[in-house]
C-alpha cells in the first residue's frame, strides 16, 4: 500500500502505465509505513492500482498481481491473495487506508 501525492494524475493508474518502482518513488509515491523500498525492489516493474480512485487506498502492484487475476479477474481478489501472501511471508501487514464511499462511480466514469 502506498501514498500517492495529489500531483499524480489518476490517469497513471493501470497496467498499461507500468513503471519501475524507482520511477514511482521519484514521482513522490511512498509506502504508507514510510519504510524505504529495498534496493532489489527498485528495478521491479509495477503499476499503480487505485481501485476506489482517490476515495480509497492505493497500491503498487507487480506483474504477479496480473497473474493472480488470470484466475479471477477481480482487483479485490488479486489484492486479497497478494495481501494474504504478504502476511504469511512477513507477518502482520494490515491495510492502512480506509475505503471511502464512491457512490455509483465506475472506472469508465473516471477515465472519461
Domain segments of the chain as ranges: 2-92
Q: Is the dihedral of CA 41, 62, 64, 94 positive or negative?
A: positive
What percentage of residues in the chain have a pLDDT greater than 90? 56
Q: Decide if pLDDT at 109 tops 80.
A: no
Average pLDDT on 17-37 reads: 95
pLDDT at 85: 83
Cα within 13 Å of Cα(29), Cβ side = 28
75 close to 53: Cβ distance less than 8 angstroms: no
For residue 48, the cross-strand partners are 13, 60
pLDDT at 86: 79
pLDDT at 103: 67
Amino acid at each position: 500500500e502506498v501514498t500517492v501525492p495529489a500531483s499524480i494524475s489518476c490517469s497513471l493508474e493501470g497496467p498499461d502505465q507500468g513503471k519501475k518502482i524507482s520511477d514511482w518513488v521519484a514521482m513522490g509515491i511512498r509506502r504508507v509505513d514510510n519504510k524505504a523500498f529495498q534496493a532489489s525492489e527498485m528495478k521491479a516493474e509495477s503499476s499503480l492500482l487505485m481501485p476506489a480512485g482517490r476515495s480509497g487506498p492505493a497500491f503498487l502492484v507487480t506483474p504477479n498481481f496480473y497473474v493472480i487475476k488470470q484466475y479471477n479477474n477481480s482487483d479485490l481478489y488479486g489484492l486479497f491473495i497478494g495481501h494474504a501472501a504478504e502476511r504469511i511471508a512477513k507477518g502482520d501487514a494490515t491495510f492502512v487506508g480506509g475505503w471511502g464511499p464512491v457512490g455509483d462511480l465506475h472506472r469508465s466514469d473516471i477515465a472519461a
